[in-house]
């Protein structure tokens, strides 16, 4: 069977925060579209816009998460902000380092690792805390006379 999606979405990637899951799907969708076009040889058309899009949408996504972290006074906020910033800078470095078509294939594993580590490791811990925070808010509202 022809492999269309480089990173097929799996249910286990869901963290349970709808807007965060939606944005993660969007980010993975950008990577999949990139892979699809690179596979067809459309490197020139997709390379610059894709990396630009990932950087910009990544920044919006990180701002979404950081607002949630602030909302619950997340103790790892500063650490996560640094982590997010480092990932954006790394994306820029990668974009700047591509000088030939062959370099594009080197970018793919980076993009995969970048987003999978972000979703499956960094965000899982934050999401669990945020969901617990939201649940405790609902409980305290329900208990208010």
- Residues 46, 65, 87, 130: which binds Fe ion (CB under 5 A)? 65
| DSSP string covering 15-45 | -S-HHHHHHHHHHHHHHHHHHHHHHTT-HHH
User: How many whole angstroms separate alpha carbon 7 and alpha carbon 134?
Assistant: 30
Q: Is residue 27 within the footprint of Fe ion (CB under 5 A)?
A: no
Q: Specify whether the CB–CB gap between 34 and 50 falls below 8 A.
A: yes
Nearer to Fe ion, 14 or 33 (CB): 14
- What is the closest distance, in whole angstroms, from the C-beta atom of residue 58 to Fe ion in the complex? 9
- What is the closest distance, in whole angstroms, from the C-beta atom of residue 24 to Fe ion in the complex? 6
Q: Is residue 115 within the footprint of Fe ion (CB under 5 A)?
A: no
- By the criterion CB under 5 A, which residues form the site for Fe ion? 65, 122-123
């Amino acid at each position: 069977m022809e492999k269309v999606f480089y990173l097929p979405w799996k249910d286990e990637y869901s963290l349970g925060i709808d807007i965060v899951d939606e944005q993660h799907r969007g980010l993975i969708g950008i990577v999949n579209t990139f892979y699809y076009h690179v596979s067809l040889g459309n490197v020139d058309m997709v390379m610059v816009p894709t990396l630009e899009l990932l950087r910009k949408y990544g920044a919006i996504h990180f701002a979404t998460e950081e607002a949630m972290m602030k909302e619950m006074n997340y103790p790892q906020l500063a650490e996560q902000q640094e982590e997010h910033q480092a990932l954006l800078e790394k994306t820029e470095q990668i974009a700047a380092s591509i000088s030939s078509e062959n370099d594009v294939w080197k970018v793919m594993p980076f993009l995969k690792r970048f987003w999978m580590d972000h979703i499956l490791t960094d965000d899982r811990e934050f999401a669990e805390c945020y969901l617990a925070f939201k649940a405790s808010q609902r409980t305290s509202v329900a208990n208010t006379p």
